Structure 1
Amino acid sequence: MFAVVDIAGQQFKVTEKTKYYVPLLKAEPNSEIVFDKVLLYGDDSGTKIGAPTLNDVKVYAKVLEHTKDDKVIVFKKKIRISYKRKRGHRQQLTRIEVTKIA
């Protein structure tokens, strides 16, 4: 059983009892959240495709923690001009565990 869910503008293929890193969500750790923008649902009996979403399928998840991704270095240089810029960025993420697809 799997579902394709729209979480914070990104699409994720999720299955039950699996952990995922998603963009930062406004939810407290150890709280339950429900994703109702399910675009596709599949199980043994077949596949349902939403137009654009499925109204009768929801994905329930538990927020485990808020964390940051690995640092990404942005380095700019122009030769013979003595121009160098080095910047770093760490994207904020939320780790969730999908508990149920119903």
Structure 2
Amino acid sequence: MAYAVIKTGGKQYRVQQGDKLDVEKLDAEVDSEITFDEILLVGEGDSVKIGSPSVAGASVTAKVVSQFRGPKGVAFKFKRRKGFHKTIGFRRALTRLEITSIAG
């Protein structure tokens, strides 16, 4: 089965066809198709193509399943012996993708 390493949102993900993954928010409608052109590696069986920095002619197509906000996270700041502590919460905006095809 073919696999690829894509780069999006400042992170790298190893994907195969049929995978579902959550990435940093992408500006796309639900049920639309997205094509990733920045493919760092493509492999199938024993053959592996490594890009420098990306593989020429390779692409990964994904379907946008949903746009949502991730779980609550806590950023806690503390300075010992000073009586200072501050808590702030956050929720990241995420996009759930389903990989439909890998070409290259």
User: Quick one: distance in 1 between partners of 2:39 and 2:83?
Assistant: 51
1:90 maps to: 91
Q: Which TM-score applies when normalising by structure 2?
A: 0.89
TM-score by length of 1: 0.90
Unaligned stretches of 5+ in structure 2?
none
Name stretches of at least 5 consecutive residues in structure 1 with no aligned partner: none
1:52, distance to aligned residue in structure 2 (A): 1.0
Over the matched positions of the two proteins, sequence identity in percent amounts to 39
Inter-partner Cα distance in structure 1 for 2:80 and 2:50 = 52
Can you list the C-alpha shifts for 1:45-100, whole angstroms capped at 9, x where unaligned?
41011111112211000001111111111223445544332210111110000000
Alignment-mate amino acid for residue 59 of structure 1: V
CA 1:80/1:49 → structure 2, altered by over 3 Å: closer, same or farther?
closer
1:20 maps to a residue whose letter is L
1:63 maps to what in 2? 64
More strand, by proportion: 1
Kindly report the root-mean-square deviation, in angstroms, between the aligned alpha carbons of the 2 structures. 1.4
Output one character per residue of 1:5-47: Cα deviation in whole Å (capped at 9) or x when no partner. Answer: 1112211100001100001101111000000111100002410
